[in-house]
Chain A
Amino acid sequence: MRRVILLLLCCVLILGCTGGGPKAGKEVVKIGVIGPMDTKYGIAMERAAKIAAEEINAQGGINGRQVEVITADTKLNPDTATSEFRRLASQSNVVIGGFSSGVALSMLEVMAETKTLWLGDASSPRLTDKVAQDYEHYKYFFRPLVTNASTFPLDMAEMLDYLNDQGVKIKKVAILRDDALWTDDVMKVLRPLLEKKGYEIVMDKKVQKGTEDFSTLLLEAQDKADVIMPIIAHVKGVALVKQWKDMGIKLPIAGHDLSAIDPDFWNATEGKCIGEIYTADGGGVPTPLNSKMAHFISAYQEKYGKLPEAYSAYGVYDAVYIYKAAVENAAKAGEKNPFDADTLISYLEAFNTQHPFEGVRGKVAFTSNHDLAWGSEFVRNYICQWQDGKQVVLYPADKATGQLITPWAE
């Protein structure tokens, strides 16, 4: 018996030494994907990264190396996230993902310590402020997945202007927002901006994650305001929208409701989201606005049988290709080790407003502190609306796929 076990052990060892797997004898480039893997945001990240990796592998890999995706779950908990980031840092060439600014800020320190390239998600300005304040330490952080929360107010203000242009009279604004770090950052810019434009914030209420009863908030808003502006990512919009419709609240909902971007939102709300106006984070709406987007959406549907579950899919898919392009540019320029994180910084920075990267969401350009450049010509938050089971882009005009409807007024 002992001999059999010994023999088996030897076989395992020999197999282990020769690699055994499909990438035997070849070097691989490992892409670490980190996110809340229990949520659709994390699932979409992992799936999108795998599609990008398969496509890249079919075309010969990144600079000749096959791509492998490894994943880690933050559990939306800073402690878990930091230890998982450390694990990814030791195993992979680049980390992509994140989600939730509080969690991302904790991972940022591990990134700096381990000098790991991180193409991140999470919108707090504090992340890229650190790049600006201590460049040498934090230069490994880039944020191609979402725009800086300090640009959300620009989107919101444009949204209100757009509604006024369309004849929906809005002056008084009721804000319902996540009880979280990122909305404090949004409010710092949004409040003075709206006031400057002549709007009046008559209500500003924080809502905790898991809140499902919005009755009193909706009634108060109806009393005081012309529009309900949600700024929510952690709080789920399903219950809010359902009660808005059921109670027949005569105000539009127009704001940043992350769950409204999901393709299954219509079914989840039993169609009660009809008329809700929302920004689509980082351009991530499942509406094929260009040929690259159309290709990605159909590849996703083919592999997983459904539209991308969340906005994060588009950004992660872009991020993998941005990494590939940076490595290949570095190799072309004759860099000794084009996979080295320090080497790649300048090649990633080269995707700037003059030479943006063409992704599925449009042009990706980094600012000097590694944020996405904001503007109509770059990746931006579109203003969308739910109409008869479909997500319609209303603004900017050149991307619009339909006209505004006002079911709340009927």
Chain B
Amino acid sequence: MNLVEIVVLGSIIGGIWALVASGFSLVFGVARILNFAHGTYFALGAYFAIVLDRELKYLMPELPSLIFSIIFSILIVGLIGVAIYKTCIKPVRKYEVMVILITLAIALLFEKILLAIFRDTSVSVPFPISGVITVSGIPIPYTRLMALLVAILIIILLERFINATKTGKETIATSQDMEASMLIGIDVEKVYTIVMFLSASLAAVAGILYSQIYAVNPQTALRVLIYAFAIVILGGLGSVRGSIIAAFIIGFMQVTVSIALEARWAEIAAMVAIIAILIVRPRGLMGVE
């Protein structure tokens, strides 16, 4: 087994998982919402970018078309996240089981819609620069390098946003005590909306990067959800930092299992990890109570 291969490939997929899981965790930490539709934002990010790029290509050169499509897609998915929160989640927010049921139904609904429009095929977002660098025998295409850099950059920005801006601090306050936050004049509803937007957008970015490296199909959303779950449970529900660390651990585990056994065992391992952590250490690495 090649250690370099595990580190290189595991970091890349870990970076993408970190984007997915940090948003998932943020929403749970701040609003106590377990959003089963989170994987859907991942898939929608990729699909919107693909569709927009196909259309915009006729109006402008390829590179600006791609960049615009990606930015629009991230914004649209962010807004869809907010819309789903306002229309479907907010009315039932007090009932945790209802939130799970309704977001799961949304996830299944979008899967069916994607299947009806795009059929059971894999599609991918184009990447303008082709090329490979080789690190001790492991070829790393520019797509993957770019994905890792973008993921790290966004994670740093997210940390800065939470810890260094006023809105970020309001977010932390809301996650610690919602009622006290309301008493000191924080607009909790605004915080929820911002968190929903961020969370969906982060998933969209991850979906776009993922589909540039690999591809997406309508079933991707639910598979991504399994990994997101494994990561946030390992990292500790509600802890963004824990999720980011856990994302890389799961990424390394995924690659190790793929090499040692077969790719199909990676998902099984993720599910076993979910159960094991819940039994042995339900708080995960850095969970909030």
Binding site for B on A (CB under 8 A): 36, 38-40, 43, 179, 205-208, 210-217, 219-220, 236, 238-239, 242-243, 246-249, 259, 268, 270
B220: interface (CB < 8 Å): yes
For the complex, give the distance between the alpha carbons of A218 and B120 in Å.
Answer: 24
Which residues on the A side are within 8 Å of B220 (C-beta)? Answer: 210, 212
Give the residue name and chain of the B residue nearest to A243 (CB): B214
Q: Tell me whether A216 and B215 are in contact (CB under 8 A).
A: no
Residue of A205, A214, A236 touching B121 (CB-CB under 8 A) = A236
Q: Tell me whether A210 and B223 are in contact (CB under 8 A).
A: yes
Q: Tell me whether A247 and B132 are in contact (CB under 8 A).
A: yes
Q: Tell me whether A238 and B263 are in contact (CB under 8 A).
A: no
Encoded as 1 (CB less than 8 Å from any A CB) or 0, chain B from 187 to 200 comes to: 00000000000000
Provide the main secondary structure of the chain B interface: mixed
Q: Tell me whether A217 and B263 are in contact (CB under 8 A).
A: yes
Q: A206-B264, A238-B122, A242-B124 are in contact. List 9 more A-B contacts (CB 8 A).
A: A40-B121, A215-B255, A217-B258, A236-B217, A238-B121, A239-B215, A247-B141, A259-B121, A259-B122
B184: interface (CB < 8 Å): no
Given known A-B contacts A207-B263, A210-B220, A217-B263, A40 and B119 have beta carbons under 8 A apart? yes
B102: interface (CB < 8 Å): no
Given known A-B contacts A219-B5, A220-B259, A242 and B264 have beta carbons under 8 A apart? no
B174: interface (CB < 8 Å): no
Number of residue pairs A-B, CB distance < 8 angstroms = 95
- Count B-side interface residues using an 8 Å CB cutoff: 36
Give the residue name and chain of the B residue nearest to A245 (CB): B130
Candidate in A40, A206, A243 with the most chain B CB atoms within 10 angstroms = A243
Q: Tell me whether A39 and B262 are in contact (CB under 8 A).
A: no
Which residues on the B side are within 8 Å of A239 (C-beta)? Answer: 122, 124, 214-215
Encoded as 1 (CB less than 8 Å from any A CB) or 0, chain B from 129 to 152 comes to: 010100000111101000000000
Q: Tell me whether B215 and A238 are in contact (CB under 8 A).
A: yes
B282: interface (CB < 8 Å): no
Q: Tell me whether A247 and B139 are in contact (CB under 8 A).
A: yes
B168: interface (CB < 8 Å): no
For the complex, give the distance between the alpha carbons of A39 and B267 in Å.
Answer: 25
Residue of B122, B132, B143, B264 touching A248 (CB-CB under 8 A) = B132
For the complex, give the distance between the alpha carbons of A220 and B141 in Å.
Answer: 17
Given known A-B contacts A238-B215, A242-B215, A247-B141, A207 and B264 have beta carbons under 8 A apart? yes
Which residues on the A side are within 8 Å of B121 (C-beta)? Answer: 39-40, 236, 238, 259, 268
5 contacts between A and B (CB under 8 A): A39-B121, A210-B217, A215-B255, A216-B255, A239-B214
Q: Tell me whether A205 and B262 are in contact (CB under 8 A).
A: yes
Q: Tell me whether A268 and B141 are in contact (CB under 8 A).
A: no
Residue of B120, B215, B223, B263 touching A39 (CB-CB under 8 A) = B120
Give the residue name and chain of the B residue nearest to A249 (CB): B139
Given known A-B contacts A207-B263, A242-B215, A216 and B120 have beta carbons under 8 A apart? no
User: Which residues of B from 175 to 233 have beta carbons under 8 Å from A?
Assistant: 210, 213-217, 219-220, 223
Which residues on the B side are within 8 Å of A213 (C-beta)? Answer: 13, 214, 258, 263
Which residues on the A side are within 8 Å of B2 (C-beta)? Answer: 219
B116: interface (CB < 8 Å): yes
Encoded as 1 (CB less than 8 Å from any A CB) or 0, chain B from 247 to 289 comes to: 0000000010011001110010000000000000000000000
Q: Could you tell me the distance in whole angstroms from the C-beta of B8 to the nearest C-beta in chain A?
A: 9
